[in-house]
């Protein structure tokens, strides 16, 4: 069964450093997403991406965050000047169709980011 | 604004017992509702979804959920728990044309012998 793969599974970084989390979405999917879950809290939407553009983003997704699809298979989340509060599990997701309704997202296993 | 509340961060049941995981939603417009499951070291996997076609929705692994508008609920049930059902379960809602899913805080299901 097709799956979304994420690397690394766990990354530890010093506050102020830059991190890049990588995702390989399902090959025929065109819509990509990042969510995150701070320990003990809700899974929160960060950003959705289609046709090389951000289509929607949350207030969490400030100017330290960026997303990119550098080639035909990868989808990356970059966080600059990391803060302690960026520590969370980051989930990548993709979908065949976009928009609302019953559109189903397929999620990866997550990348745990720890900022010290 | 849309939101979901999952009552109970941890639920423990005996193998063979009924599983009931609660989810209540808040939405000013008809919602689309989802249950996802996360097994250890795996991604969020769709269990089932409500799309207004039927109020009782059957999903994978013997799970089902019933949409009750009067109670704004979408509780997940399974008649007989199995050890392999031990996982974290997330309820999520989406409304309108926005792609954003709003998740609950999750319920960790423990199944004991």
pLDDT in tens, B48-76: 999 887 899 999 999 999 999 999 999 99
- Specify the pLDDT at position A60: 95
Predicted pLDDT at B111: 97
3-state SS string for chain A: CCCCEEECCEEEECCCCCEEEEEECCCCCCEEEEEEECCCCCEEEEEEEECCEEEEECCCCCCCEEEECCCCCCEEEEECCCCHHHCEEEEEEEECCCCCCCCCCEECCCEEEEEC
Predicted pLDDT at A102: 78
Partner A contacted by B3 (CB < 8 A): no
Question: Which residues in chain B have their CB less than 8 angstroms from residue A6's CB?
Answer: 43
With a cut of 80, say whether residue B5 has pLDDT above it.
yes
Name the percent of chain A lying above pLDDT 70. Answer: 100
Contacts of B46 in chain A (CB under 8 A): 104-106
Query: What average pLDDT does range A96-115 have in this prediction?
Result: 88
Cβ neighbours for B33, distance < 8 A, ≥ 6 positions apart: B4, B23, B25, B49, B50, B65, B67, B74, B91, B92, B93
> Would the CB atoms of B42 and A109 count as touching at under 8 Å?
yes
Residue B45 sits at the chain A interface (C-beta within 8 Å): yes
User: Does the distance separating the beta carbons of B99 and A104 come in below 8 Å?
Assistant: no
B100: nearest CA partner in chain A? A45
Question: pLDDT averaged over chain B?
Answer: 92
What pLDDT is recorded for position B44?
87
pLDDT digits (tens, 9 = 90+) for A29-72: 999 999 999 988 888 999 999 999 999 999 999 999 999 998 87
- Tell me whether B25 touches chain A (CB under 8 Å): no
Q: Which residue has the higher pLDDT, A1 or A88?
A: A88
Taking the CA of residue A105 and the nearest CA in chain B, the distance in Å comes to 8
Q: What is the pLDDT of residues B21-53, one digit of tens each?
A: 999 999 878 889 999 998 887 888 999 999 887
| b/e sequence A18-44, b meaning 16+ C-beta within 10 Å | ebebbbbbbeebebbbbbbbeeeebbb
Taking 90 as the threshold, does the pLDDT of residue B99 lie above it?
no
Chains A and B form CB pairs within 8 A to the count of: 71
Give the per-residue pLDDT at A36.
Answer: 95
Question: In what helix (H) or strand (E) does residue B19 lie, and over which residues does it extend?
Answer: strand B19-21
**Would you state the pLDDT for residue B95?**
81
């Amino acid at each position: 069964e097709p799956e979304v793969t994420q690397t690394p599974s766990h990354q530890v970084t010093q506050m102020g450093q830059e991190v890049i989390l990588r995702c390989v979405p399902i090959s025929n999917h065109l819509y990509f997403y990042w969510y995150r879950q701070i320990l003990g809290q809700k899974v929160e939407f960060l950003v959705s991406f289609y046709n090389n553009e951000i289509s929607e983003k949350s207030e969490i997704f400030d100017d330290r965050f960026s997303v990119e699809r550098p080639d035909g298979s990868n989808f990356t989340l970059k966080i600059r000047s990391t803060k302690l509060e960026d520590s969370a599990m980051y989930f990548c997701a993709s979908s065949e169709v976009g928009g609302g309704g019953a559109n189903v997202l397929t999620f990866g296993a997550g990348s745990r980011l720890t900022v010290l | 604004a849309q939101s979901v509340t999952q009552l109970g961060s941890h639920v423990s049941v005996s193998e063979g017992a009924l599983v009931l995981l609660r989810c209540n939603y808040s939405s000013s417009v008809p919602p689309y509702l989802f249950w996802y499951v996360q097994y250890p070291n795996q991604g969020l996997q769709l269990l089932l979804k409500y799309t207004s076609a039927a109020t009782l929705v059957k999903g994978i692994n013997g799970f089902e959920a019933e949409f009750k508008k009067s109670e704004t609920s979408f509780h997940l049930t399974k008649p007989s728990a199995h050890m392999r059902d031990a996982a974290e379960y997330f309820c999520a809602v989406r409304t309108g044309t926005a792609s954003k899913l709003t998740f609950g805080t999750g319920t960790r299901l423990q199944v004991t012998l």
